[in-house]
């Protein structure tokens, strides 16, 4: 039986899909390397192979004092943060990419929240208030994907968004079979997917936005999910981070029953955020009482100059009733290489900074909380 040639298969793709992939940062060489590891796995089970690739060898919970509480009444930090805002040092970035599947096929950024406005409009309104407070435009960057870019750009045009509101696209790749061959969908076509929010630094570099920000004197980038309506710009937290001297701030919050997400643990010489699928088997995640909200404040120049060799994690998906393999990366891997401060933020009350909305049912449950937070914030 002839050996499968992925390189040849990629070269035979239709021109339109090749152009689309190229526009979204696709690396054929990277995919071929991933495919080779699948083809060479031999008698290894898929689970064994994934564990070897994804899991760390050992992990320990954070030590006392390593998770700090968010400051509340710190006038000096608030003044420092407001000065940074007025001096144009901050850009705010929301992640609005992915495959647009969680909200019933509607692009999440365009779903209406409890204030009866789409998430995107909340972010635009927040930005207008921040820009007014700063006395200058605060750059607002929106990371889109192949599945969300057209709709979001059309919505921004319809709303006549100001020029400091910019979009950039995350990566796109192709799914593989468990043997390392191109996976095809029910129509016999190659199956594409967005490769995770860890795309953000590379996508920002491609866009030129980060370099432009640094050249203009920008020092910080605040990053959060478009659907976490609790996470917004806060002068006190900005000042706290500026004063910390750290390269990265991670917002964590107290875990409740059934919460799942990345947690801070000591692994490979650093206190870093790891998803549960990366933890050693047998590690009791419940001993860590906080988890990552996927909101980060990062210094712009270290992000621009980072030489991080990203880890792509193997993930198994069911697509059209068949098993597909895709490789994804996670933004929290920045915690492995950057000096990091972990800040516990509230998830209840009008000052809540963690109000995720992952599906229509959760949106309905959270409407009262979201309304209270937005009523307080958008005045």
Model pLDDT for residues 56-113, shown as the tens digit of each residue? 999 999 999 999 999 989 999 999 999 999 999 999 999 998 865 555 555 666 765 5
Residue 376: CB atoms within 10 A of its CB come to 12
Buried b (16+ CB within 10 A) or exposed e, 212-224: ebbeeebbbbbbb
Pairwise CA distance, residues 291 & 265, whole Å: 10
DSSP 335: G
User: What's the rounded Cα separation, in Å, for the pair 289 and 309?
Assistant: 29
Contacts of 225 (CB under 8 A, 6+ apart): 94, 95, 197, 231, 294, 295, 356
**pLDDT tens sequence across 40-64:** 877 788 899 999 999 999 999 999 9
- Counting every residue written for the chain, the total comes to 379
User: What pLDDT shows up at residue 78?
Assistant: 97
Question: Which tens digits make up the pLDDT trace of 284-311?
Answer: 999 999 999 999 999 999 999 998 999 9
Collect all residues with Cβ–Cβ distance below 8 Å to 59 and sequence separation of at least 6: 265, 266, 267, 274, 279, 280, 283
Tens digit of pLDDT for each residue in 333-373? Answer: 999 999 999 999 999 887 889 988 777 777 777 777 777 77
Q: What pLDDT shows up at residue 114?
A: 46
Asked whether 261 and 106 are in contact (CB, 8 A), the reply is no
**220 - beta bridge partners?**
90, 299
Q: Look at residue 166 and tell me whether its pLDDT is greater than 90.
A: yes
In this structure, are residues 85 and 135 in contact, taking their beta carbons and an 8 Å threshold?
A: no
Q: How many CA atoms lie within 13 A of 115 on its CB side?
A: 20
Give residue-wise pLDDT tens across range 8-27: 999 999 999 999 999 999 99
What secondary structure letter does DSSP report for 169? E
């Amino acid at each position: 039986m002839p050996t499968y040639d992925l390189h040849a298969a990629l070269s035979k793709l239709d021109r339109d899909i090749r152009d689309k992939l190229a526009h979204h940062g696709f690396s054929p060489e990277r995919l071929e390397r991933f495919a080779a590891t699948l083809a060479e796995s031999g008698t290894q089970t898929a689970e064994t192979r994934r564990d070897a690739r994804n899991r760390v060898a050992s992990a320990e919970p954070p030590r006392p004092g390593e998770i700090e509480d968010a400051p509340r009444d710190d006038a000096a930090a608030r003044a420092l943060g407001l000065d940074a805002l007025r001096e144009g040092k901050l850009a705010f970035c929301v992640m609005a990419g992915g495959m647009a599947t969680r909200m019933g096929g509607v692009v999440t950024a365009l779903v209406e929240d409890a204030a009866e406005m789409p998430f995107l409009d909340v972010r635009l309104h927040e930005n207008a208030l921040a820009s007014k407070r700063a006395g200058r435009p605060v750059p607002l960057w929106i990371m889109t994907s192949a599945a969300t870019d057209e709709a979001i750009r059309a919505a921004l045009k319809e709303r006549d968004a100001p020029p400091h509101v910019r979009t950039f696209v995350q990566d796109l790749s192709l799914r593989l079979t468990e043997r390392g061959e191109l996976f095809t969908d029910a129509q016999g076509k190659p199956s594409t997917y967005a490769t995770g929010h860890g795309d953000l630094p590379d996508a920002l570099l491609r866009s030129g936005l980060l370099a432009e920000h640094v050249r203009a004197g920008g020092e910080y980038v605040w990053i959060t999910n478009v659907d976490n309506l609790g996470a917004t710009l806060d002068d006190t937290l900005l000042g706290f981070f500026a004063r910390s001297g750290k390269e990265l701030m991670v917002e964590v919050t107290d875990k409740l029953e059934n919460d799942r997400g990345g947690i801070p643990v000591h692994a490979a010489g650093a206190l870093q955020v790891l998803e549960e699928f990366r933890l050693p088997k047998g590690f009791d995640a419940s001993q860590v009482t906080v988890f990552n909200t996927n909101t980060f404040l990062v210094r712009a120049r270290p992000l621009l100059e980072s030489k991080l060799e990203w880890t792509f994690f193997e993930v198994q998906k069911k697509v059209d009733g068949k098993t597909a393999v895709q490789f994804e990366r996670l933004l929290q891997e920045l915690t492995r290489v950057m000096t990091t401060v972990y800040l516990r933020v509230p998830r209840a009350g009008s000052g809540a900074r963690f109000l995720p909305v992952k599906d229509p049912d959760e949106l309905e449950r959270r409407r009262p909380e979201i309304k209270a937070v937005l009523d307080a914030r958008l005045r």
